[in-house]
């Protein structure tokens, strides 16, 4: 699989996918619902598609984490346990991807995407204020760091949403504080799993660079859109698109003789 390449004719599509993914991730979370299916639809093997997506997503997550830390939204010192457990989980998830039969991954991914769409559709509304936590920080970061870190290393789309919901519902964080912590955890799992994918050459560098440029622009546009229109304006659009792509992937992996 290393050395897989894409024709330059697809670069405009990849740029638009990165743009849409960055916008959606900023507005409502789940930008990987756009970028991963697009990479898969271009014929990339599943491990290469996941590695390429992880690479381009790292640009946005690291930048956002640094921004939130500098703005004082998140205290990184309180996240040390979570960072360590997330790193371990992400490396384990990425190594699992490298060890599994790509054909099996191809059949599994549509169902993971479908489950994520259902969750995104029915997810609860985040809180605006802090509430008493239901778990101590040490236990919380150990459990969710290992599990969500593994998920992000193994698959990825929607990890930020899962982190935010867990921080709000279990730790009682307000939405802004939960978002800042989420970006730190996202950056950790992205970089950790990226190292595993990169070591195996499981990425397409030109696609990474094109999508990263689109993602950075999309993130800026998404921040403006949140202020003007709110997240509800964008979420139905990417959920609809994700459903269409899922049906296509199911047909490719199950419907053809």
Contact between 48 and 102 under an 8 Å Cβ cutoff? The reply is no
Distance CA 17, CA 11 (A): 10
Answering whether pTM is above 0.85, one says no
Contact between 56 and 35 under an 8 Å Cβ cutoff? The reply is yes
Distance CA 12, CA 181 (A): 33
pLDDT of residue 113: 67
Distance CA 198, CA 64 (A): 22
Distance CA 45, CA 201 (A): 12
pLDDT of residue 63: 78
Contact between 27 and 227 under an 8 Å Cβ cutoff? The reply is no
The number of angstroms, rounded, from the C-alpha of 142 to the middle of its chain's C-alpha atoms is 20
CA distances from 143 to 52, 65, 133 (A): 27, 21, 15
Distance CA 127, CA 167 (A): 10
pLDDT of residue 1: 46
Distance CA 70, CA 66 (A): 6
CB atoms within 10 A of CB 168: 23
pLDDT of residue 87: 95
- Nearest Cα to Cα of residue 108 among 151, 53, 143: 151
pLDDT in 10s for each residue of the chain, 257 residues: 445 678 889 999 999 999 888 777 766 666 787 888 899 888 888 888 888 998 888 887 787 788 778 878 788 888 899 999 999 999 999 899 888 775 676 677 677 767 766 776 676 655 555 666 777 888 999 999 999 999 888 887 778 777 877 887 788 887 777 878 888 898 899 899 989 988 888 889 999 999 999 988 887 776 566 546 544 555 565 566 556 656 766 676 676 55
Spans of all domains in the chain: 10-255
Q: Which two tokens stand for residue 100?
A: 């599994």
Rounded (10°) angle between helices 102-122 and 235-250: 150
Distance CA 185, CA 80 (A): 10
Under DSSP, the state recorded for 203 is S
């Amino acid at each position: 699989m290393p050395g897989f390449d894409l024709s330059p004719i697809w670069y405009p599509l990849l740029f638009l996918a990165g743009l849409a993914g960055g916008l959606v991730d900023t507005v409502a979370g789940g930008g990987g619902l756009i970028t991963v299916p697009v990479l898969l639809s271009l014929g990339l093997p599943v491990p290469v598609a996941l590695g390429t997506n992880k690479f381009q997503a790292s640009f946005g997550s690291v930048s956002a984490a640094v921004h939130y830390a500098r703005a004082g939204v998140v205290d990184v010192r309180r996240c040390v346990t979570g960072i360590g457990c997330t790193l371990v989980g992400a490396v384990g998830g990425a190594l699992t991807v490298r060890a599994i039969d790509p054909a099996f991954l191809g059949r599994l991914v549509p169902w993971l995407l479908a489950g994520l769409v259902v969750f995104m559709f029915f997810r609860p509304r985040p809180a605006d204020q802090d509430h008493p936590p239901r778990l101590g920080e040490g236990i919380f970061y150990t459990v969710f760091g290992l599990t969500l870190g593994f998920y992000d290393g193994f698959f990825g789309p929607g990890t930020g949403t899962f982190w935010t919901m867990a921080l709000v519902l279990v730790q009682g964080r307000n939405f802004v504080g939960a978002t800042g912590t989420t970006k730190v955890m996202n950056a950790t799992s992205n970089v950790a799993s990226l190292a595993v994918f990169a070591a195996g050459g499981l990425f397409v560098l030109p696609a990474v660079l094109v999508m990263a440029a689109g993602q950075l622009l999309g993130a800026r546009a998404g921040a403006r859109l949140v202020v003007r229109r709110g997240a509800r304006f964008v979420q139905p659009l990417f959920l609809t698109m994700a459903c269409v792509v899922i049906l296509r992937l199911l047909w490719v992996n199950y419907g053809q003789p």
